[in-house]
Structure 1
Amino acid sequence: LPPHTNVAVGKTAYASSVFGTSYGPENAIDGTIPSLGSNSSTFISGNSSEHWLSIDFGEQMTVSQVTLYNRMDCCGEQLYNAEFRLGGAAVFTNNSDQLPYNDLIHTMTGASIGGTTGGTVTFSLNPPSTGRFLTVKNGAGSGELPFLPVAELQVSGVSAVCIDQMVYGGLHGTGLSSLINLTLSDEAACCQACNANNACFYWDFDRVNGRCRLLRWAYGSFLGVTLLPYVTRVAGAKR
């Protein structure tokens, strides 16, 4: 599979509000981690409760790890009981109604319920999770914890390059021959494996046992590709 990289840098960011023009959401994904004691290149929300930051990757991404750098100058406790979500439901500045529809992938709890100045929040997703919008939403702390501060948000992942070519409940039948069988985490990973294999043109994935079949045209076959109904399978093609 292609190497995982920080897929957040340079993407589009939205926020529920902004503390000031120097602290916009784009600061959270500009690739710059401020030095300790500095609040430059930092996103800070307005003064209210349960504020959020949204990253639009522009396409589906399969994410394996997320690291949030808290503000470096002060007030790290403002990051409080934050929840992270990933999915396909759009979350924009003036349209956050769909935010709860995306999958909850992490919540700051226990000893990490409150952030620390210059601290980090890092978590891995195993198996990886796929979505277009990643959000961070601050928890409902006391009135002394009104802001959502993010110095930098790093997202390790890869493009789910052919996720829009999937048919759920389908299995490739006649007209194809198998290249290789793999055991993978999800249909996006199977799709990526096909994309990385020059001989692969089609694939299908069993969501129960994780089996991924990479497929090609069968030599001498004059039959078209057939999709068979199979409730636990996902079938796809290289884009």
Structure 2
Amino acid sequence: MEGHSYLFLLLGVFCIQGSSENLEENLALKGTAVQSTTYYSWGAANAIDGIRYAPGTASFCSITLNQLNPWWRLDLLDYYCIYKVTITNRADCCPERMTGVEIRIGNSLENNGNNNPRCAVVTSPLPAGGTVSFSCGRMEGRYVNMYLPNIQTHLTLCEVEVYGAVYRKKVYLRMKLTSSVDTAAVSNTFLDQLQSTLGLSPV
């Protein structure tokens, strides 16, 4: 009877981190944004247009209606390990509207994404035109929400920036080998299975 052995491969959960320049790339610029409501023409996309400073009447900001529990959501269109989120307040007025904003990150759209894990809370007034950054460790997620729970107000964001690295999930591969197996054949089979599992095209 031929002996059998098993080959196991575990690809763990990890972030694909390139050069330091990649970590300085604002991922929000590649995404799309929506918000709970829109005040006149101040749509959600204004907060990811790459323009931090908004003189005058918040011309480059996003603003919701005056409502209970306003929210804004960014879809990064892929899964990332998020290291840092930076937000900028409007410059012309109303700096107090940012107080209490929760930054939530995750993959769920339950409650419009507002039930995802929390990275940080803006606990003190952000100066008009001020910018603040929050460290999120390596929180994994596709969606980044700005959420003001239990408050009736306008949610105003002049810019939201997100920095992180591409996220990949862990994968298990198991191969059964016989003692008389052809090494070259095993290598080819292994590569085929790996490509299939990772969704890669054959070279």
Match of 2:126 in 1: 115
Q: Report which of the two structures shows the higher radius of gyration computed on alpha carbons.
A: 2
Distance in 2 between the 1:79 and 1:220 partners? 61
Distance in 2 between the 1:123 and 1:108 partners? 9
Of residues 138, 145, 153, the one that matches 1:135 is: 145
Distance in 1 between the 2:126 and 2:199 partners? 43
Aligned CA distance change for structure 1 residues 101 and 138 (closer, same or farther; 3 Å)? closer
Of residues 56, 79, 86, the one that matches 1:60 is: 79
User: What is the DSSP-based 3-state SS (H/G/I as helix, E as strand, rest coil) of the residue aligned with 1:97?
Assistant: helix
Aligned CA distance change for structure 1 residues 154 and 47 (closer, same or farther; 3 Å)? same
Match of 1:80 in 2: 99
Instruction: Structure 2: state its 5+ residue gaps.
Output: 1-16, 177-182, 191-196
Matches within 5 A, 1:179-194: none
Distance in 2 between the 1:30 and 1:100 partners? 23
Say if 2:126 is the partner of 1:106.
Answer: no
**Would the aligned equivalents of 2:32 and 2:76 in 1 still touch at CA under 8 Å?**
yes
Query: TM-score, with normalisation over the residues of structure 2?
Result: 0.72
Output the amino acid matched with 1:18.
T
Of residues 150, 157, 166, the one that matches 1:150 is: 157
Q: Give the deviation of 1:98 after TM superposition.
A: 4.8
Which has the larger helix fraction? 2
Match of 2:49 in 1: 30
Instruction: Structure 1: state its 5+ residue gaps.
Output: 91-95, 176-218, 226-235
Q: Give the deviation of 1:47 after TM superposition.
A: 0.9
Output the amino acid matched with 1:12.
T
Of residues 34, 46, 71, the one that matches 2:90 is: 71
Percentage of matched positions with identical amino acids: 26
Match of 2:37 in 1: 17
Output the amino acid matched with 2:126.
G
Output the amino acid matched with 1:222.
V
Q: Give the deviation of 1:24 after TM superposition.
A: 0.2
Cα-Cα RMSD? 2.5
Q: Which has the higher contact order (CA 8 A, sep 6+)?
A: 2
**Would the aligned equivalents of 1:83 and 1:106 in 2 still touch at CA under 8 Å?**
yes
